[in-house]
Chains A and B, each alone.
Chain A
């Protein structure tokens, strides 16, 4: 578990954040620019001291202002992937990776050395301590082989981020912080780096804190989300939970609001590029390319794409009718209503007009069918995290 509580006042801005998230897992710190995301991970990393606060990773207290505890940055074993990569210009790629590796190994050995004589299992290290991350593994995982002899200035933006990621991983971190690692890249480069991040999430059991103001990245990578606005946590929980909180709308905009559902592929229809996705209860028949039976898939159903019916419809082209109960209706804009529909554990959001809500006499507790077009998942389907 990663527990964070921090207060930091700076130039008229106050960060007052508190959250906890399970480890391993990917926690996304999500919010608009200037909401305090970077300040918060700098506090976690130790590069910035909070005015008040406590940071705890598993059974290690990293910062506790009341107890005057502050583990120095260099001893925290927290990897940091910076927005601008920050590769050392006077070392080759290999030199940069080794810089992390030698110090990481030394650090990890020191921790083991301190613990062995004590001989007690009470302060047993976290799982991630037991396993060291090898050079070859990182080079293979991040595709760094062809880059080793190059100098940082000879790399593209995406390559730089991959090297920065590798360097941080090789320092044998117990926690990896990523500060908008894709923000300085164009769309093509983002697509190049994202699969590597996805692979890290699923292959290594290192907890990650991922800062982003792009909801697409959060969708693709996060297991948990901490929603920040003006220095405060306005919601936190699993991605599925946070995807349906009303406060998200103000940040991502009305058109990007939609519930995130994780499911398992139970049947594929490759000729049509379609597949059955089993959810908690019920199945979605949706457009899914390149998946295999048994794959865990995450889809986002945009609220604006979901139609509500008060009777089981007939004679429609829509392939999915999810029966459920209206959990909540919240006004959305001047002419709309956002309906949360509980479809048996999972929640879908539907944005309908105020007019339609009145005509259908929708109210909380009412039975409805949420209609989902099979193509509505096109471009909004991702590999679901294995961890969790």
Chain B
């Protein structure tokens, strides 16, 4: 591996994986919650929430990064509070890159989970109820396991997309080698430098491989879970 990739490139690979994984971990619980609210709760502002969740899909990623910078930057309302009270800094950090990636891949995740939730037979939850299962019991023993294929699909897709998040990350977390320079940022940097072509090519091939692996893993996982559920 070291013969093929330089240490800077390995750093980018490691960072991409870390950022994508943290982004998925960060957004998963919220994605499940939002998907559940959008599917099961009828309330007046539902379509507004729906639109809001989908915003990152239609906004320029740079704009999303900029909004994050306004909110979570050291001078931003939330960012300032986090820094002064808890000593947490998000802008220009790996955690910040993960946050930006999480926001960008959030709609993908919500969509996949929502479809999964819509396919869960409410009749099974009613059956669990008649057997004595309260709301949380039902959610964790019936609804959540039956949503699992969708949740996994959503998580893997979000992870694969997160590996390549560019605009929001570079705007909010900047392009710091070893901290926020993920594969796409390293690729961009390589293209900018006069002798970066071989590096850029290697990184492009790396991206392609990762993407393929991610999609294959998603498919295998989905097949396995489907078999487990007997469908």
* Interface contact A104-B123, CB-CB below 8 Å: no
* Interface contact A73-B123, CB-CB below 8 Å: no
Contact partner, B130, options A78, A88, A154, Cβ 8 Å? A78
A313 to B141: give the CA distance in the assembly, Å. 70
Within 8 A of B (CB), among A59-85: 73-80, 82, 84
Contact partner, A86, options B127, B137, B145, Cβ 8 Å? B127
* Interface contact A104-B132, CB-CB below 8 Å: yes
A60 to B188: give the CA distance in the assembly, Å. 72
* Interface contact A99-B141, CB-CB below 8 Å: yes
Please name 9 further chain A to chain B contacts, defined as beta carbons within 8 Å, in addition to the given A45-B130, A88-B127, A171-B130, sorted by A numbering: A74-B134, A86-B123, A86-B127, A88-B142, A89-B124, A90-B229, A99-B133, A153-B231, A168-B131
Within 8 A of B (CB), among A21-79: 45, 47, 73-79
Binary interface profile of A, 203-245, with partner B (CB < 8 Å = 1, else 0)? Answer: 0000000000000000000000000000000000000000000
Complex interface: chain B residues within 8 A of A167 (CB): 131
Please provide the 3 A-B residue pairs with the shortest distance between their CB atoms, ordered closest to farther.
A153-B230, A103-B132, A80-B130
Given contacts A89-B231, A90-B145, A99-B141, contact A84 B132 (CB under 8 A): no
Given contacts A89-B230, A90-B229, A99-B141, contact A74 B146 (CB under 8 A): no
Task: Please tell me the size bucket of the interface on A.
Answer: 20 to 34
Contact partner, A168, options B130, B142, B145, Cβ 8 Å? B130
Closest to B135 in A: A74
B222 close to A (CB within 8 Å): no
B134 to chain A, nearest CB (A): 5
Complex interface: chain B residues within 8 A of A154 (CB): 230
* Interface contact B127-A80, CB-CB below 8 Å: yes
B83 to chain A, nearest CB (A): 44
Within 8 A of B (CB), among A79-122: 79-80, 82, 84, 86, 88-90, 99-100, 103-104, 106-107
Closest to B141 in A: A99
A104 to B129: give the CA distance in the assembly, Å. 11
Closest to A102 in B: B132
A86 to B130: give the CA distance in the assembly, Å. 11
* Interface contact B230-A151, CB-CB below 8 Å: yes
Q: Would you list 19 pairs from A and B whose C-beta atoms are within 8 A, ordered by A residue?
A: A45-B130, A47-B129, A47-B130, A73-B129, A74-B132, A74-B133, A76-B130, A88-B128, A89-B146, A89-B230, A90-B229, A99-B131, A99-B141, A103-B132, A106-B132, A107-B132, A151-B230, A153-B231, A167-B131
Within 8 A of A (CB), among B51-104: none
A89 to B229: give the CA distance in the assembly, Å. 6
B220 close to A (CB within 8 Å): no
Complex interface: chain B residues within 8 A of A258 (CB): none
A152 close to B (CB within 8 Å): yes
B228 close to A (CB within 8 Å): yes
Complex interface: chain B residues within 8 A of A74 (CB): 129-134
B126, B128, B130, B145: residue with the most chain A Cβ atoms closer than 10 Å: B130
B130 to chain A, nearest CB (A): 4
A47 to B121: give the CA distance in the assembly, Å. 15
A residues apposed to B, CB below 8 Å: 45, 47, 73-80, 82, 84, 86, 88-90, 99-100, 103-104, 106-107, 151-154, 167-168, 171
Closest to A82 in B: B127
* Interface contact A86-B124, CB-CB below 8 Å: yes
Closest to B138 in A: A74
Contact partner, B131, options A90, A151, A153, A171, Cβ 8 Å? A171
* Interface contact B230-A152, CB-CB below 8 Å: yes
Given contacts A84-B123, A89-B230, A90-B228, contact A73 B130 (CB under 8 A): yes
Given contacts A89-B231, A90-B228, A153-B230, contact A171 B132 (CB under 8 A): yes
A248 to chain B, nearest CB (A): 31
Closest to B228 in A: A90
* Interface contact A104-B230, CB-CB below 8 Å: no
Complex interface: chain A residues within 8 A of B229 (CB): 89-90
Closest to B125 in A: A86
Complex interface: chain A residues within 8 A of B123 (CB): 82, 84, 86
* Interface contact A99-B130, CB-CB below 8 Å: no
A47 to B128: give the CA distance in the assembly, Å. 11
Complex interface: chain B residues within 8 A of A76 (CB): 130
A80 to B126: give the CA distance in the assembly, Å. 10
* Interface contact B128-A99, CB-CB below 8 Å: yes
Binary interface profile of B, 212-231, with partner A (CB < 8 Å = 1, else 0)? Answer: 00000000000000001111
B122 to chain A, nearest CB (A): 10
B135 to chain A, nearest CB (A): 8
Complex interface: chain A residues within 8 A of B124 (CB): 86, 88-89
* Interface contact B126-A104, CB-CB below 8 Å: no
A88 to B133: give the CA distance in the assembly, Å. 13
Closest to A100 in B: B131
Complex interface: chain B residues within 8 A of A75 (CB): 132
A277 to B91: give the CA distance in the assembly, Å. 91
B167 to chain A, nearest CB (A): 40
A167 to B231: give the CA distance in the assembly, Å. 22
A196 to chain B, nearest CB (A): 19
Closest to A84 in B: B123
A203 to B148: give the CA distance in the assembly, Å. 41
B123 to chain A, nearest CB (A): 5
Complex interface: chain B residues within 8 A of A86 (CB): 121, 123-124, 126-127
B221 to chain A, nearest CB (A): 15
A100 to B132: give the CA distance in the assembly, Å. 8
A179 to chain B, nearest CB (A): 11
Complex interface: chain A residues within 8 A of B126 (CB): 47, 73, 86
B182 to chain A, nearest CB (A): 36
